[in-house]
A and B are shown apart, each in its own frame.
Chain A
């Protein structure tokens, strides 16, 4: 027989090459479907698409882990607004940069008459963006010096200038501080002091505890306390529909 003269490896290759190549192909296509979404996965936590999806009750249970809004948080808009959007974000994530104007649009429409408050929390994805944690501290230092007004001015400007994906030079951080009217020397001292390291870490841990596995990760809290999770830089229309639901108390 023809195969009698073939080496064992060649015989095995003949026998298994097709099913093995199909299996490898299937894995690659599945990986493509899993990771085609823009939301960036957190270090050590599988991205949402690849995880066995928990049911609605389990998701809601996780959302109950959200830390209450305190004086340590940075609130844009009416602090007593019936709807609160808590956003966990990474300043070097390109999708967070893209989502920032969407949130500004939400605040333009719903924030002016006090219907929605925007709470910003940190969720630096260290494995992907090595600069994000320092930038999160920079945001806190801005807030420490000038209150929420300075915090938001600094945040808006940073998202405006960063090219994302660790593209922002460290030298830009004090420069932005100067632009928004902060004391640059005091800002630099704060940046290296370690004063806000624990705060940033607590925010990141809380993001994971609520079910966040990538950025941007948002939780929309309605006036009746019902919570809706939103993963990724979703279109304004989606956020608007969820805000309307939350305002109706549904």
Chain B
């Protein structure tokens, strides 16, 4: 199921490229966020040449080895890859859905598309936004009570993304008809 849906979506190189870009963006976000202040200072300084402005964030990506445990490094890479695949599948599914909506002559198809996102269970969508909101709820204080100090979330996230990807693949494989 997943393999067939993947074959269908990723035979178009644009989806491969899209998945790759999203995966790299998520990976960079997870690795560079702790040093966003430094990156901001370096990027906004007029005295620093472009080569150093690019070189510093690139070298910071190496912290996946020095600043992560093996578990968190592996799960971060897995989350980034699954995230990219997940988003590519969602985009493919939504484009097909938009096509169907247009074909049916429904002009305000926004609700249909939105419910499509929710209906197919795209847990990845929106989680990036939530990342910046979490601190408002003091989420870091719970880490002290977790045996893996937050690694539990990574394991759960990988499982959820696999389920989410499987669910979308299932939807893609279903013919675009109403079942009786």
A contact residues vs B (CB 8 Å cutoff): 18-19, 21-23, 25-41, 43-56, 59-60, 94-95, 98-99, 102, 127-128, 211, 214, 228-235, 237-238, 241-242, 245, 250
In the A-B complex, the 4 residue pairs with the closest CB atoms: A25-B123, A35-B150, A32-B157, A56-B40
Q: Which residues of B contact A (CB under 8 A)?
A: 26, 29-31, 33-38, 40-45, 47-48, 52, 55-56, 59-60, 62-63, 65-69, 72, 75-76, 79, 83, 118-119, 121-135, 138-141, 143-144, 149-150, 153-154, 156-158, 160-161, 164
Given known A-B contacts A33-B79, A211-B37, A228-B41, A50 and B29 have beta carbons under 8 A apart: no
Which listed residue, B37, B121, B130, touches A56 by the CB 8 Å rule? B37
Select B128's contact among A18, A33, A38, beta carbons within 8 Å: A33
Please list 20 pairs of residues, one from A and one from B, whose beta carbons are closer than 8 Å in the complex, sorted by A's number. Answer: A18-B119, A26-B124, A26-B130, A29-B160, A31-B150, A33-B128, A36-B75, A38-B66, A38-B72, A43-B144, A46-B140, A49-B30, A50-B135, A50-B140, A98-B67, A231-B34, A232-B63, A233-B66, A235-B59, A241-B56
Whether the pair B157, A233 counts as a contact (CB closer than 8 A) is no
Q: With the chains together, A250 CA to B48 CA distance in Å?
A: 6
Given A31-B150, A228-B41, 8 more A-B residue pairs with CB atoms under 8 Å apart are: A29-B153, A30-B131, A33-B128, A37-B31, A46-B135, A48-B33, A48-B34, A49-B131
Residues of B within 8 A of A54 (CB): 37
Q: Closest CB-CB distance, A173 to chain B, in whole Å?
A: 24
Q: Are A33 and B29 in contact (CB under 8 A)?
A: yes
Question: Considering the chains assembled together, what is the distance between the CA atoms of A19 and B83 in angstroms?
Answer: 19
Residues of B within 8 A of A233 (CB): 63, 66-67
* Given known contacts A50-B132, A232-B63, A245-B48, A59 and B37 CB-to-CB distance under 8 angstroms: yes
Q: How far is the CB of B18 from chain A (nearest CB, A)?
A: 19
Interface-centre pick from B41, B48, B118 (highest chain A CB count, 10 A): B41
A29 touching B161, Cβ below 8 Å: yes
Contacting pair B63 A235 (CB below 8 A): yes
Q: How far is the CB of A33 from chain B (nearest CB, A)?
A: 5
Minimum distance in angstroms from A104 CB to a CB of chain B: 14
Are A241 and B160 interface neighbours, CB within 8 A?
no
Interface contact A46-B138, CB-CB below 8 Å: yes
| Beta-carbon contact of A59 and B34 below 8 Å | no
The answer to whether B125 and A26 have CB atoms under 8 Å apart is yes
Q: Which residue of B lies closest to A99 (CB)?
A: B66
Shortest beta-carbon distance from A62 to chain B in Å: 8
- B118 contact from A22, A214, A238, Cβ within 8 A: A22
Closest residue of chain A to B130 (Cβ to Cβ) is: A30
Chain B neighbourhood of A237, CB < 8 A: 59, 62
Could you tell me the distance between the alpha carbons of A230 and B83 in the complex, rounded to whole angstroms?
A: 28
Provide the bound-state CA to CA distance between A26 and B158, in Å. 11
Asked if A41 and B140 make an inter-chain contact with CB atoms under 8 angstroms apart, the answer reads yes
B160 to A, closest residue via Cβ: A25
Evaluate contact between B62 and A55: CB separation under 8 angstroms. Answer: no
Query: In the assembly, what is the distance between CA of A238 and CA of B47, in Å?
Result: 18
Residues of A within 8 A of B68 (CB): 36-38
Known contacts being A37-B33, A49-B33, A128-B149, is A234 close to B60, with CB within 8 Å? yes
Asked whether B67 lies within 8 Å of A128 as measured between CB atoms, the reply is no
* With A38-B68, A238-B62 as contacts: A53 and B37 at CB distance below 8 Å: yes
Closest A residue by C-beta to B141: A44
